[in-house]
Amino acid sequence: MKKDEHFKYCKKVADVLGYDRLHNLDKLQRQSLNNQLNDLIEERDYVVETVTDDEIIGRYKLVTEHIYPNEFVIMREKINQD
Q: Tens of pLDDT along 51-62?
A: 999 999 999 999
Q: What is the mean pLDDT of residues 11-27?
A: 96
Contacts of 12 by beta carbon, 8 Å cutoff, 6+ apart = 48, 51, 56
Q: At residue 27, does pLDDT exceed 90? A: yes
Contacts of 49 by beta carbon, 8 Å cutoff, 6+ apart = none
Task: Label residue 1 by pLDDT band (50, 70, 90).
Answer: confident
Q: What is the pLDDT of residue 72?
A: 84
Residue range of the domain that includes 22 = 3-81
Q: What is the pLDDT of residue 74?
A: 83
Q: How many domains does the chain have?
A: 1
DSSP H/E element including 30: helix 27-43
User: From CA 14, how far away is CA 34, in angstroms rounded?
Assistant: 12
Average per-residue pLDDT in the chain? Answer: 94
